[in-house]
Structure 1
Amino acid sequence: MIVRELLILNKHGLHARPATLWVQAAAKYQSSIRLKTADREVDGKSLLAILSLGLSAGSTVQLMVDGPDAEAAADALTQLVAELGEKES
């Protein structure tokens, strides 16, 4: 299992548009993808679950990926979060 701490840099947080991009990217991988905050853990391939976390700018979230393509999935999603922050900052 790969675990990474992600910092949400997008000034609007992980709202509907970036969350949709996240889900589209996550769906390309076979691995299980989970997002965890201090008090909740959700399916990282579910748009509603991600939106329910209410991740605002400056939030941190733990990315947990487990499966045959875990490294590729973790790398792609980490890069996506960085790119979303660059576009919106």
Structure 2
Amino acid sequence: MISKNYIITAADGIHARPATALVKLTKRFKATISMKKGERTVKINSLLNILSLAAKGGDTITIIVDGEDEVGALVAIDIFFHDELKHL
């Protein structure tokens, strides 16, 4: 299991469009991928799960990846948060 913290750099936070893109991205991997904000943790397999965290710009979230392809999954998620999120 590996985890990494991210600060949401998109001013609008994680709304429907980036949440949908994140669900599509994570479905490519076998690993279980979760997102944590504060004390609440949800699996990133559902748009509603992600939106329920209400992650806004400036919030810190933690991505937790556990499974056989966890390194590849975290690399893809890292690219998403650093490059793609601000354009969605």
Q: Give the structure-2-normalised TM-score.
A: 0.93
Judge conservation of contact 1:31–1:66 (CA < 8 Å) in 2.
Answer: yes
Residue identity over aligned pairs, in percent, reads 34
Matched with 1:78 is 78
Q: Shift in Å at residue 51 of structure 1?
A: 0.3
Mapping 1:23-38, distance limit 5 Å: 23-38=23-38
1:3-26 per-residue CA deviation (whole Å, 9 max, x = no partner) reads: 100111111100000010000000
Superposed displacement of residue 82, structure 1 = 1.2
Deviation, 1:85, is: 4.3
User: 2 CA distance for matches of 1:53 and 1:84?
Assistant: 20
- Cα shift at 1:74: 0.7
> Residue deviations 1:46-85, cap 9 Å, x none?
1100000000001111100000100000110111011234
Aligned residues: 88
Which runs of 4 or more aligned residues in structure 1 lie more than 6 Å from their structure 2 counterparts after TM superposition? Answer: none
* Further displaced range: 77-86 or 52-61: 77-86
Unaligned residue ranges in structure 2 (runs of 5+) = none
Report the TM-score when normalising by structure 1.
Answer: 0.92
Q: What is the aligned partner in structure 1 of residue 52 from structure 2?
A: 52
1:21 — aligned with what?
21
